[in-house]
Amino acid sequence: MWILNKKKQISSLGIDIGSKGIKIVELRKEKDRIVLQNYGGLKICDVKKESFHYFDKRTLLPSLNNVSSAIKAILEEAKIETKEAVFSLPDFATFFTSFTLPPMTKNELPDAVNFEAKKHIPIPFNEVVLDWELIGDTVNEKEGENKILIMAISKTLISEYKKIADNCGLTLLSLEAEVMGLKRAVVSKEEGNVCLIETGSQSTTISIITNGYLTMSVSFDVAGKDCTYSIAEALNIDLAQAERIKTNLGLKNNDKKVIDAINPILSIILEKAKNVISDFEVKNSKVTKIIISGGLSNMSGLLDYFKENFQDLEIRSSNAFENIFYPAELKEILPEIESTFSIALGEALKKFEE
């Protein structure tokens, strides 16, 4: 937890509720710059309760009491005063896909999207709220196709998030998939076709972002936890020790057992990334860059691993705080903050979008 001094300014709050923790970022706008005002987080290991969980394993809905209690604790401890918040939704709680529509006017587009969306959403239409955006800057009225990204969210899920916000004394401004907040925080609209690989504790999401627009995304349950478990089993040590070895030494470890434990996990992520890029390039132009994000991005040697396997692409780590002003004393720990708070930061940035 970090507590920063605050002034009365236009502020924004982003809240990322994950399966293993909650992260909150508070920003303020000062003329032409955005300043980190505050941040705070809570992990399950911090709570020290075996029964504590953020999502119900049966319904996949957020645990109302646990999530509300955790958010209120963070807001109180960090003395966060902003009341309007944007929440992220975990990948397993959202459905989104894309499709193309023929040339049409701006007024015709909404009805056409709703009609076409029914063919793509595997959930009864009366049980979801539909959101969509045009992939690109303008509507094609005479020639070419209109590329549409749609996102469907369960009405029940929205109701639960509204209850959580109410319990915490917050106003829910918006809900969106994690990847939408992440891309806002780490991918510039001028970067062309970018493959964004976000590997957290529980899952990995590989997305293609074109000029700032999400064009495709794939999530799967292979992630940082699998590396930790594999190291613990190979060395017969506890998970806390394995986690430290994974982060601090990782692929630069001299112990062959550690390398042999990690490599099969990374190979799965690598092959998934190659497949996503290949599928995109079949119908589109080439991907030129890969951005690595998420908790696993801190693992020593991971960036070099991707550079070795994608020698024709530019590879870099995400830098969500690149254009954010923050206190100088945070500089040393910024990489750790960046890897875990990028999604919450992206949600907080949503309020400042033009």
Average pLDDT of the chain to the nearest whole number: 87
162 domain residue, yes or no = yes
* 217 is a domain residue: yes
Nearest Cα to 351, choosing from 88, 85, 78?
85
**Which helix (H) or strand (E) is 128 found in, with range?**
strand 128-134
Element (H, E) at 266: helix 256-283
Residues 230, 211: one domain?
yes
Give me the CATH number covering residue 82: 3.30.420.40
Model pTM?
A: 0.87
Q: What is the CATH classification number for the domain harbouring 107?
A: 3.30.1490.300
pLDDT at 141: 75
Judge whether 4 lies within some domain: no
pLDDT in tens, 266-323: 999 999 999 999 999 998 899 999 999 998 998 999 999 999 999 999 999 999 999 9
Q: For residue 117, give its domain range.
A: 95-154
Pairwise CA distance, residues 51 & 71, whole Å: 18
Whether residues 123 and 229 share a domain: the answer is no
pLDDT of residue 54: 57
Question: What are the strands, taking DSSP E only, across 178-285?
Answer: 193-199, 204-210, 213-220
Over residues 133-149, the pLDDT tens digits come to 888 777 877 777 888 98
Q: Are residues 259 and 305 in the same domain?
A: yes
Return the closest-CA partner of residue 262 out of 222, 311, 204.
222
Residue 5 lies in a domain: no
Question: Are 105 and 223 contained in the same domain?
Answer: no
Instruction: Note the pLDDT tens digit of each residue in 46-65.
Output: 444 444 455 565 555 778 88
Q: Quick check: 83 and 169 in contact, CB under 8 A?
A: yes
The label of the residue with tokens 């690595």 reads 292
Count of domains observed in the chain: 2
